[in-house]
Structure 1
Amino acid sequence: MNPKFVSYVMQTAAFIDEKAKHVSRGKVNRLLISGLEKVNIPVPFSDDPEKSLAEQARIVAILDKFDALTNSITEGLPREIELRQKQYAYYRDLLLSFPKPVVVEA
């Protein structure tokens, strides 16, 4: 399995909920190896290891790119600001463009 793929899966709400079922509660919550073994990790194309690893790599690449765009101050944020400014200008101009008054000559 692709370690980064497993890392992304472990951040999902479904994994966290499943993991919570196997935590031993006391003063300190513990997740033992035996509990972790019971948590299911979805694997694409589980019957074909080569295809599975390729799909895992594709998913990781998409999530890495998305993560970079959403968390990068130098890339994602300036682009998002620029897009919102263009969107604002478009709708502002649309809202403030009134039909020209028709001049009636007597």
Structure 2
Amino acid sequence: MAYRKGYYRKSRSRKDGRATAVSRKRFTASPAGRHRKIARNCFAIARKAKAAGNYRHYWKMVNFGKRALALSKAEHRLWTRGKALTARSFATHRRAKARLRS
């Protein structure tokens, strides 16, 4: 079956050779993972805007991406109390705490 230009067959590996988020153990199921994903998309849009010479949009997207990567209110609260998360996920934090208890 022939595929139109720009459309590729569905496979587990990417055409550009990069590993998928799941294989790199980077899930977007947690709020932190979703924020990472948003930031990555913002930075990609920023690069395209810069290439097109639209610097106003470039800076807007860069700042938006930076804000997406900032700590959430809950994470900031834990950080200030000296209970920084081992990874940016409450599930991971819970698991780490459980390991310490046992």
> Structures share a fold, TM > 0.5?
no
Structure number with larger C-alpha Rg: 1
